[in-house]
Structure 1
C-alpha cells in the first residue's frame, strides 16, 4: 500500500505535514467526518495522484482558529490531479486523465445539482446542503493537500483537460480552476459586471485578484481593488487595476476622486468575516460587517453586490457574541432603499470552470500571473501558510508529487 503525506490542522496558527491513509473507495472515520458519512461506499469515485493543490484564504480562516475545525483535519479543497484508479461505477473518466476538481462536492443526482446549484448539493453532507474537501462542517471528505486524494462522483465532478502536454504546460493557470478563479469570476458575474461596468472589489487577496481578472474578462471599463495591504495592492496594479488603500480615508470619497462619481455599477466582497474597519491603517480593528456596509454605500442604486468572501455560523474568535454565530450588524435599510441585490454562498464551480479553462488554454487570461502564483513543496506548506497569513501577495501552490518541476 502506498504511503500518503498530507497537510493537517494542528491547532490555532499551526499546520503540520503528517502521514495519513492512502485513499480507498469508502469514507472512513476521522477528524471532521460526520458519523452519518462513516462507511459510505464510493464506487463512483476516482483516486488521484495530486498534480497541484493550493493554499486558500478559506483554509487560513481555519488555521487561525476562527472556525470549529477539529485538530488533525486534513486541509485542502483546491485540487488538480492525475487519475490513477477508478471505482467500478466510473464510466467516462479514465486512468491517466489530468483533471481539475471543483472544490464543492456534488452528486449530480439531486434537485439542486440538476438545476446547476452544485455548491448546495443535497446528498453529500448530512449536516447541511453543500460540501467541500478538507473543510469544517462539510461532511468530512478528506482534504487534497496530500499526495493522493479520493474524489466521489468522478464522472460528474471531474473536469478533464483535453490535452495532457498542454495542460501540464499551463498547469499554474489551470490549478486556479478548482476554486479561486471560478469563485472570483462568480463574484463579478453575481455583481452584474458587463462591458463598460465600473467595478469595486474589496480585498486584494487571491480571490479578490481573481475577481478583478474576471471583471476584466467580462469587459469592465474600470476595475478598482481596495485593501489595507500595499504589497497586495501593487499586485492588483500589475495587471491594470486601479487601487484604493481603504486605510487612507472614506471609500466613497476615494471612489469619487478616481471616477468623478462617488459610486460604482457593481461591487464584490472578497474579504469575508475577518474584515477590518476602514481608516485604521495597519492597526484597524476587526469589524465583520464593515465591508458589506461600505459596499452598500458605494454601489449605485439598482446595482448588485457579489459576496464570494466567506461568512460562517461558528467563529470562536469573533469580536462579539452576535458575530460568534454569524449575526452581523448590517445596514440592510440602505440596501433596501437603493434596491440592491446580493448573491452569497459557495460558487457553483461547474457553472464556470470549462469556459474559464478554454479562456486559459487560448491565452485570453493569465490568472497565475494575476494572483502571483508560486509553487512550493508539500513539506514547505507550514511556511506557505505562515507567509500567506502575514500578508504575502502570493498564491501558494503545493507540489506534492513533482509534476510542477517537469
Structure 2
C-alpha cells in the first residue's frame, strides 16, 4: 500500500478529498512527544473503511465555528475491516469487521478503568479525551478515508460476530461508532424509562437517534423540536410527535397540546452551541436550548446534553460565547433540582448492547436517521447538502462494500 485518500477541511464551507500517506502502526507525533510515549504502536490495527459517516460535529468545523486549522483531516464515525495488526494485538484478526468508538481510549488509565473512555488521559496531551479527525483532539488522522489506524485495538474495536450479517445490516451498525450511543446516552442520562414523556431538542441525526433511543427505553411520548420541516417529517416517520420552533407559539404551549401539561419528564439537548432562538427569523442564541430544557422539564428531572459545546468559537455572536461562556439560567435549574450530564458519550458503555439490539431487529436506527449512502468523492457535496439542512445521515462508502 502506498497511499490513502481522506476528506480534509480547506477553510470555512470547504472540504476536499486529498491523498496522504498510507497509515502506519505509529502514534501521532503530538501524542507520542506530548505524552512521552513510544511512537511505535504494536497495539494498533489498520482498518480498510467499510463505512464512515458525516457528523454534525464535523460540520461545526467545516462552517469555521472551531479553531480547526486548514488541512485538518475529518471523520470520527468509523466502521472497517481489519487488514493489518501489530504484534501486541491478540483478540482481533484480519478480516474482522469492527465498529470503532469515536472516543480514542488507551484502556489502561484511571478514566478508562472507571468506564469514562471519553476522557482518557493517555491519548491527547492538550486535554483529557481524544477523537479521530477532530480539532484539539490529539492529532489523530480522520476516518473519512480509505484506511485508518486504530490504536489500542483490542480495547477500542467492537468486532461484529458474523461478517455476512454485519454487511447486511451495515447501515444500522455504522451508527454504533457515534450517533446511536450518543443519542442513547442523551436519553439514558436524562432518565428516560418506561412511560416517560420526553422532549428532544433538535431533529438532526443525533436528535433523531436520541428520539429512537428514548423509544427503545420505553418512553410513552417522544416530542422532537426543530425549525426544519423536512427533519420534523423524518421524526414523525418513526412515531415521534413534533413541534415547530419557527412559529411564534411558545414551546410550553406546544408541549401542553401534546401531553396535556406544559412539561415533560425528561429532556435532551441534541443541538449544542449553534442554537438559535425561537420564532420566524430568529438569530443565533447559544444558550436557548439549555434554557428551554430547564423550562419545560419537571422539577427533579435529569437533562441529557449530548449536543456539542466548545471552548473556542471564532464565529460566535459575542465575546463570551467565543470562549464557551453562555447565558444559562442556572438558577432555574438549581431551583428545580435538575441534574445535568454533559460531555462526550463514552461509546464503549453502550455500543455492545446497542449492537445486539440491531442484530436482533429490536432497533432500526438507519431508518430513524434516514441513512443515505454516498461515495468518498461525493463527500464535499454531502457536506454541502447536510449544511443546508438535508434530513439525511450521510454514510460514505469508500470501497463500494455497501450493498
Query: TM-score surpassing 0.5?
Result: yes
Separation of aligned partners in 2, 1:50 and 1:34: 25
CA distance in 2, matches of 1:328, 1:110: 32
Matching residue of 1:170: 169
C-alpha distance in 1 between matches for 2:377 and 2:278: 37
The 2-side partners of 1:25 and 1:364 are apart by 37
Alignment of 1:26-175 (within 5 A): 26-29=26-29, 36=34, 40-175=39-174
1:40 offset after TM fit, Å?
2.6
Hey, what does 2:180 align to over in structure 1? 181
Name the TM-score, length of structure 2 as normaliser.
0.98
Partner residue in 2 for 1:364: 362
Q: CA deviation at 1:41?
A: 2.3
Task: Give the whole-Å Cα distance in 1 for the aligned partners of 2:362 and 2:347.
Answer: 19
Alignment of 1:224-373 (within 5 A): 224-248=223-247, 249-279=249-279, 281=280, 283-373=281-371
Gaps of 5+ in 1: none
- Greater mean deviation of Cα atoms: 140-149 or 33-42: 33-42
Show the 5 A alignment for 1:371-382: 371-382=369-380
Q: Distance in 2 between matches of 1:258 and 1:221?
A: 12
> How far, CA to CA, are the matches of 2:245 and 2:299 in structure 1?
22
- Contact map agreement 1:34 1:139 (CA 8 A) in 2: no
**Shift, 1:34, TM fit:** 8.6
Deviation at 1:351?
0.3
TM-score normalised to the size of structure 1?
0.97
How far residue 18 of structure 1 moved from its aligned partner, in angstroms, is: 0.2
Q: Offset of 1:402 from its aligned partner?
A: 1.0
Stretch deviating more after TM superposition (52-61 or 18-27): 18-27
**CA shift at 1:27, angstroms?**
3.0
- Give me the whole-angstrom Cα distance separating, in 1, the residues matched to 2:137 and 2:39: 15
Task: Tell me what 1:223 maps to.
Answer: 222
User: What secondary structure sits across from 1:100 in the alignment?
Assistant: strand
CA distances 1:104-147 after superposition (whole Å, capped 9, x unpaired): 00011011101110001011110111110000000011100000
Provide, for residues 29-73 of structure 1, a one-character-per-residue CA deviation record: whole Å limited to 9, x for no partner.
5xx879626973211000000000000000000000000001111
Once residues 144 and 68 of structure 2 are traced to their aligned partners in structure 1, the CA distance between those partners, rounded to angstroms, is 16
Shift of 1:28: 4.4
Whether the 8 Å contact between 2:25 and 2:42 is mirrored in structure 1 is yes
Change in 2 beyond 3 A, CA 1:98/1:12: same
- Secondary structure class of the residue paired with 1:403: coil
CA distance in 1, matches of 2:24, 2:130: 19
* Alpha-carbon distance in structure 2 between the residues aligned to 1:330 and 1:145: 35
Partner of residue 190, structure 1:
189
Distance apart, 1:2 and its partner CA: 3.1
C-alpha distance 35-68 of structure 1, shift in aligned 2 (>3 A) = farther
Q: What displacement does 1:259 show?
A: 1.0
How many positions carry a matched residue from both structures? 401
Any conservation in 2 of the 1:34–1:127 contact (CA below 8 Å)? no
Shift of 1:3: 2.0
Distance (Å, rounded) in 1 between the aligned partners of 2:61 and 2:107: 28
